[in-house]
Amino acid sequence: MRRKDWLGVLGFIAKLILGLLFISPLLVGLVFSFVPSRLLNNLPDLETVLGNLTLENYKWIMGYIPIFRFLGNSFVVCAVIIVVQVILSSFAAYAFSFFRFRGSKILFQIILIAMMIPAEVTVIANYLTIQSMNLVNTYAGLCAISLLSGTSIFMMRQSYMQIPRELKEASLVDGCSDMRFLFRIAMPLTVPAIASLAIFLFISAYNMYFWPMLVAQNTDKQTIQIGMAMLVGTENVEYGHVLAGAMLSIVIPVAAFIIGQDYLIKGMTSGAVKG
């Protein structure tokens, strides 16, 4: 028994070290974001790093880059996308799992086909649409193409199918209307699924790059990813600033991930694979 305990502890330490090694790019970035850029062009030794720790890079970012504006824009976009997707995918899931109606099969096929067309393929034509609607550089344009996705509908449908049919019949008998059932009974029952979906959508919307890069052309609408990408692309790049910017941009999603990982994992893996 003793020997087994020791092996367990050793295994734990080995896996922990492997984990630290795996996230070492993040750790390196975190430590060196507190080191002045001029020291980063050669690998500084530990003493130089510890002797020169400074908030200079972060101060520069706060002073010269409208980072709070970028973060604010990201939050507006995330909030709109999360609220609209949760509501609309609940609507769709409710319709498909509690009603029988003509054309339901075809409508369901529409989701499957839509999921097969990747966003990268439609991005050009979508940009042209947004441009012709005069929505370039607006929040509406930023959110427009992400207001609903097949994945969310599937995630919600998974949990709507678990609500017993009898519940609906009983509430109908008690005089509860269809919409009242949705808002008062079904949606509260699916709160765990909504939480999974919300975290999933938050991380993916916060991390969007391609679409916001095309649509948000001025600082007043640019999201955090676009703002941080501008730091990477400059000439005479100041790595201290780049790393500090990267760290500021990942704090929130990493925190959201660590707090909500159980929900996220459940949501990600529930609908995707049969088995």
Partner 1 sequence: MRKKRKQKPLPYLLLLPMVILFGLFTFYPFIRSIYLTFFITDPLGNPSSFVGFSNFERVFTDEGFVKSLVSTIKFAAMVGIGTFSVAIVLALLCMHPRRGSKIYQTMYALPIAVASVPVSALASYILSKYGILNQLLGIDIGWFSTEQTALIACAAVTIWSSVGTSFIFLLVGFRNVPEDLLECSRLDGAGPIRRVLNVVLPLASPQVFFVIFLNIVNSFKAFAIIKLLTQKGPNDSTNILVYAIYSNAFLRGRFETACVYSLVLCALIFLVTRVQLLCEKRMVYYQ
Q: Could you say whether residue 234 binds partner 1 (CB under 8 A)?
A: no
CB of 63 to partner 1, least distance (A): 19
Listed residue (25, 14, 20) closest to 250, CA to CA: 25
Beta carbons of 210 and 180 less than 8 angstroms apart: no
Task: Kindly state the smallest distance separating residue 59's Cβ from partner 1, in Å.
Answer: 18
Size of the site for partner 1 (CB under 8 A): 92
Number of neighbouring beta carbons within 10 Å of residue 191: 11
With vertex at residue 203, the alpha carbon angle to CA 159 and CA 131, rounded to the nearest 5 degrees, is 105
Whole-number Å distance between alpha carbons of 208 and 35: 29
**C-alpha separations of 26 from 33, 47, 99, 246 in Å:** 10, 20, 49, 9
Tokens of 186: 């079904």
Residue 29 within binding range of partner 1, rule CB under 8 A: yes
- Binding positions for partner 1, 193-232, rule CB under 8 A: 203, 206-207, 209-210, 213-214, 225, 228-229, 231-232
Among 2, 3, 4, 100, binds partner 1 (CB under 8 A): 100
Contact characters 60-99, partner 1, x per CB under 8 A: ----------------------------x--xx-xx---x
For partner 1, the binding residue among 110, 140, 172, 191 (CB under 8 A) is 110
Chosen residue from 126, 137, 171, 219 binding partner 1 by CB under 8 A: 126
Cα 223 from Cα 266, distance rounded (Å): 28
Amino acid (one-letter) located at 217:
Q
Q: Are 182 and 90 in contact (CB under 8 A)?
A: yes
Residue 224 beta carbon to partner 1: minimum distance, rounded to whole angstroms: 8
Nearest CB to partner 1, comparing residues 42 and 164: 42
Binding of partner 1 by 56 (CB under 8 A): no
State which residue, 22 or 64, has the beta carbon closest to partner 1: 22
Residue with the two structure tokens 């430590």: 31
What are the Cα distances from residue 250, in Å, to 29, 247, 269? 11, 5, 23
Q: Which is nearer to partner 1, 4 or 188 (CB)?
A: 4
Q: Which of residues 252-271 bind partner 1 (CB under 8 A)?
A: 253-254, 256-258, 261, 264-265, 268-269
Q: What six digits make up the tokens of 15?
A: 């896996």
We find the least distance from the C-beta atom of residue 248 to partner 1, in angstroms, to be: 9
